[in-house]
């Protein structure tokens, strides 16, 4: 932590794994998710450890992109919504038992509910009009069409009254799961804004996905390959079709 006036170091803390997102500050607490599979809660004023919690089922390590990580890393910042915190651990729904999703109390680390994202919906029906088997019963929709931006594991974000991991939604209070495999956007509650359900990718990456941010009912982003920004305003009264496949 740095002094905002002069940049002097006020305190330091070393987690047992790499961090890939900024900490979450909530009511004097500092919540940190680590790629070791652990969550840390510190006093924001002093850096003193309040509690720590491993949400990875086992303390196992692998090497990914030349760096040591848990088999179930905790990605990004930890969202806090209506006094409850949410985190996910894992790398893929079909690997090592799936993505573990947790709701817990920030003050104590007490787990409120837990669930898993372990099914991409290969065997479940596709909603109309996206199921090609209506005309060609022998066809495989996973080969003939592809969901736009279907990220297997992305940062947890609020989607209306749910917490979303890619296109898998979990009720904020109960943890009940709802897989929306044709949904290309998530809803910002109370604004009418729909944000692209996609991972932010940058650099020399195929299929560049620029970052998108919202302020009120406006969304700001750029178009890949163009050095121009755009602004899109949403209206809560207008309907928006969040289904997006190609």
Measured CA distances, 98 to 56, 62, 95 (Å): 11, 16, 5
Higher pLDDT, 140 or 67: 67
Please provide the DSSP assignment of 28-71 as one string.
TEEEEE-TTSEEEEEETTT--EEEEEE-SSS--EEEETTEEEES
| pLDDT cut 70: percent of the chain above it | 83
pLDDT higher than 70, residue 131? no
Q: H-helix or E-strand containing 142? A: helix 141-144
Read off the tokens for 147.
């969901």
Rounded Cα–Cα distance for residues 230 and 67 (Å): 36
- Residue 143 DSSP SS3: helix
For residue 142, what pLDDT band results from cuts at 50, 70 and 90? Answer: low
For residue 138, what pLDDT band results from cuts at 50, 70 and 90? Answer: low
Instruction: Check residue 132 and give its pLDDT.
Output: 60
Instruction: Tell me the pLDDT tens digit for each residue of 7-37.
Output: 999 999 999 999 988 999 999 999 999 999 9
Tokens 């894992």 correspond to what residue? 90
Measured CA distances, 169 to 66, 90, 99, 243 (Å): 32, 16, 12, 15
Which phi and psi (to 5°) does residue 15 adopt?
-85, 170
Can you say whether residue 225 is alpha, beta or left, with left for phi > 0 and alpha for psi between -120 and 50 degrees? Answer: left
Instruction: Check residue 77 and give its pLDDT.
Output: 87
* Residue pair 44/1 in contact by the 8 Å Cβ criterion: yes
């Amino acid at each position: 932590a740095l002094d905002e006036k002069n940049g002097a170091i006020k305190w330091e803390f070393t987690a047992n794994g790499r961090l890939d997102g900024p900490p979450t500050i909530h009511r004097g607490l500092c919540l940190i998710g680590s790629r070791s599979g652990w969550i840390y809660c510190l006093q924001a004023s002093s850096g003193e450890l309040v509690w720590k919690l491993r949400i990875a089922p086992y303390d196992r390590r692998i090497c990914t992109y030349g760096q040591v990580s848990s088999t179930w890393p905790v990605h990004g910042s930890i969202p806090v919504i209506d006094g409850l915190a949410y985190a996910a651990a894992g790398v893929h729904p079909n690997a090592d038992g799936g993505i573990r999703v947790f709701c817990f109390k920030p003050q104590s680390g007490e787990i409120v509910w837990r669930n898993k994202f372990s099914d991409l919906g290969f065997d479940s029906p596709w909603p109309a009009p996206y199921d090609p088997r209506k005309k060609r019963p022998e066809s495989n929709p996973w080969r003939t069409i592809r969901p736009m931006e279907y990220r297997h594991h992305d940062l947890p974000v609020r989607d209306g009254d749910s917490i979303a991991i890619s296109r898998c939604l979990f009720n904020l209070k109960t943890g009940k799961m709802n897989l929306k495999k044709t949904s290309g956007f998530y809803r910002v509650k109370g604004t009418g804004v729909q944000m692209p359900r996609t991972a932010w990718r940058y650099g020399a990456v195929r299929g560049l996905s620029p970052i998108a941010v919202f302020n009120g009912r406006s969304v700001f982003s750029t178009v890949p390959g163009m050095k121009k920004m755009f602004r899109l305003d949403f209206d809560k009264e207008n309907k928006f079709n969040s289904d997006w496949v190609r």
